[in-house]
């Protein structure tokens, strides 16, 4: 039963079209998660980020919610980028973007700092959640499809 559930989780098609989605989404979320979690790439770290989000957005306790978001973005990015448990990572990233849209960006709609960027990231995350990692993902390699399954497939 566990083997069947695992196979359903990593099931993916042989399309190459998910590679740029995985790579770009993985990079964007890795950098953003690193900024919040570790203070890398010009970020201020977890404590500062928690203080910034607690007061105006009502996310109390801020350290808990910001930690969850940063961990989801950081590790979800690694899963999506590598294509290992792509659906699980993409679901976490989609949830993080849904919360960001509702709690932070919703009132702005398509103004500066509005919902357009998080909405785009939400859409890309949902695409990976629906389809999986595609060709050249760890998920695809774990399924070990036969050579005839791939014959002649480009996208």
Query: pLDDT at position 152, please?
Result: 45
Mean pLDDT in residue range 43-70 = 79
pLDDT at residue 63 is higher than 60: yes
State the pLDDT confidence band at 151, using cuts at 50, 70 and 90.
very low
Query: pLDDT at position 2, please?
Result: 65
> What is the pTM (predicted TM-score) of this model?
0.84
Report the distance separating Cα 80 and Cα 40, nearest Å.
Answer: 20
How much of the chain exceeds pLDDT 90, in percent? 55
Pick from 56, 55, 39: nearest CA to 47: 39
More confidently predicted of 56 and 41: 41
SS3 of 65-107: HHHHHHHHHHHHHHHHHHCCCHHHHHHHHHHHHHHHHHHHHHH
State the pLDDT confidence band at 36, using cuts at 50, 70 and 90.
very high
Mean pLDDT, all residues of the chain: 86
Query: pLDDT at position 57, please?
Result: 62
State the pLDDT confidence band at 104, using cuts at 50, 70 and 90.
confident
State the pLDDT confidence band at 148, using cuts at 50, 70 and 90.
very low
């Amino acid at each position: 039963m566990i083997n069947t559930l695992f196979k359903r989780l990593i099931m993916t098609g042989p399309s190459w079209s998910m590679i740029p989605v995985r790579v770009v989404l993985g990079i964007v979320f890795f950098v953003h998660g690193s900024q919040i979690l570790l203070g890398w790439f010009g970020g201020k770290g977890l404590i500062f980020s928690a203080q910034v989000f607690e007061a105006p957005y009502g996310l109390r306790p801020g350290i808990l919610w910001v930690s969850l978001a940063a961990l989801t973005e950081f590790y979800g990015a690694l899963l999506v980028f590598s294509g290992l448990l792509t659906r699980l990572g993409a679901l976490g990233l989609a949830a993080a973007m849904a919360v960001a849209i509702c709690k932070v960006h919703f009132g702005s709609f398509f103004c500066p700092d509005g919902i357009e960027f998080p909405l785009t990231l939400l859409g890309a995350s949902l695409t990976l959640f629906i389809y999986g990692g595609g060709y050249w993902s760890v998920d695809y390699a774990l399924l070990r499809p036969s050579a005839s399954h791939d014959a002649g497939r480009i996208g």
